[in-house]
């Protein structure tokens, strides 16, 4: 049970982080409990200091979360979303065979295979993520263009990446970056992320003006959609 004195921080890409204060702590220590990051912090540390420590270790913390939460990619693993479906089935050959087309991928596994092998798990992730990236490059840019044109918004370019932590970003030069993991989201949340980045064209921060603009773009549902998006991570294990 959480201590009543515990506090909580939400960090995009990491989720809720429980902060536990310890009068003997001299530095920030992180661990995962019940799929949640727990930070042990010096008693008088400030929120700003805590966020700085989290930002410094962001990639390590994300890996820590992933390792603790990820199940095996094996014959029971599948993806079944609107824009991407994946099946891993038992094959008859001696090697893995992958067949991919727009919106779907089938991987045939050899009869004798150890899915607990770390190198195999990493290889499977790379194969699946690359398929996501190819699909995202076909699906996301036209959708972004349509939403921008509908709302009279002009951006410079769009790029697709496979980095974890952010669904999207917008630069001062009006260049938009989108995560390939977006294709795993429900369709209405994909549109929300795209509209979120388009709202940044005129408002680079998350000020009241930004949220007012995003509310107009989402039929006054910005906060509700943002709360729903927080249930998902840029991961192959959202589903």
Give the model's pLDDT for residue 1.
Answer: 41
Phi, psi of 89 (to 5 degrees): -125, 165
Q: Are strands 78-80 and 85-90 parallel, antiparallel or unpaired?
A: antiparallel
Q: In percent, how much of the chain has pLDDT > 90?
A: 70
Distances in Å between the Cα of 204 and the Cα atoms of 34, 104, 196, 210, 226 are 35, 35, 11, 8, 17
Distances in Å between the Cα of 57 and the Cα atoms of 28, 132, 155 are 10, 27, 32
First to last CA, the chain: 26
Give the model's pLDDT for residue 152.
Answer: 96
User: What are the tens digits of pLDDT across the range 66-120?
Assistant: 766 668 899 999 999 999 999 999 998 889 999 988 999 999 999 889 998 889 9
- Read off the pLDDT band of 4 (50, 70, 90): very low
- The partner residues of 107 in beta bridges, in order of sequence, read 88, 98
For the structural domain made of 78-229, what CATH number should be given? 3.30.2010.10
Round to whole Å and give the CA distance between 67 and 174.
35
Sequence ranges of the domains in the chain? 7-69, 78-229
Give the model's pLDDT for residue 13.
Answer: 82
- Read off the pLDDT band of 59 (50, 70, 90): confident
Give the model's pLDDT for residue 69.
Answer: 61
- pLDDT of residue 168 exceeding 90, the answer is yes
* Residue owning tokens 């790379």: 126
Give the model's pLDDT for residue 107.
Answer: 96
- pLDDT of residue 35 exceeding 80, the answer is no
- Read off the pLDDT band of 123 (50, 70, 90): very high
């Amino acid at each position: 049970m959480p201590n009543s004195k515990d506090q909580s921080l939400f960090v995009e890409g990491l989720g809720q982080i429980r902060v536990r204060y310890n009068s003997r702590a001299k530095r920030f220590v992180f661990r995962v409990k019940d799929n949640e990051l727990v930070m042990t912090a010096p008693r008088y540390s400030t929120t700003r200091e805590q966020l700085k420590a989290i930002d410094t270790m962001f990639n390590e913390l994300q890996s820590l979360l992933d390792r603790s939460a990820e199940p095996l990619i094996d014959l029971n693993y599948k993806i079944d979303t609107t824009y991407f479906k994946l099946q891993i089935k038992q094959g008859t050959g001696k090697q893995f065979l992958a067949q991919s087309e727009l919106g779907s991928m089938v991987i045939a596994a050899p009869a004798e295979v150890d899915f607990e092998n770390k190198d195999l798990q990493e290889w499977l992730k790379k194969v699946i993520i690359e398929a996501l990236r190819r699909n995202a490059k076909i699906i996301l840019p036209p959708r972004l263009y349509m939403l921008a044109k509908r709302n009279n918004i002009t951006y410079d370019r769009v790029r697709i990446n496979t980095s974890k932590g952010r669904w999207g970003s917008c630069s001062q030069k009006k260049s938009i970056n989108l995560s390939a993991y977006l294709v795993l989201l429900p369709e209405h949340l994909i549109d929300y992320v795209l509209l979120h980045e388009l709202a940044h064209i005129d408002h680079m921060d998350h000020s009241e003006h930004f949220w007012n603009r995003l509310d107009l773009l989402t039929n006054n549902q910005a906060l509700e959609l943002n709360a729903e998006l927080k249930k998902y991570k840029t991961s192959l294990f959202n589903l």
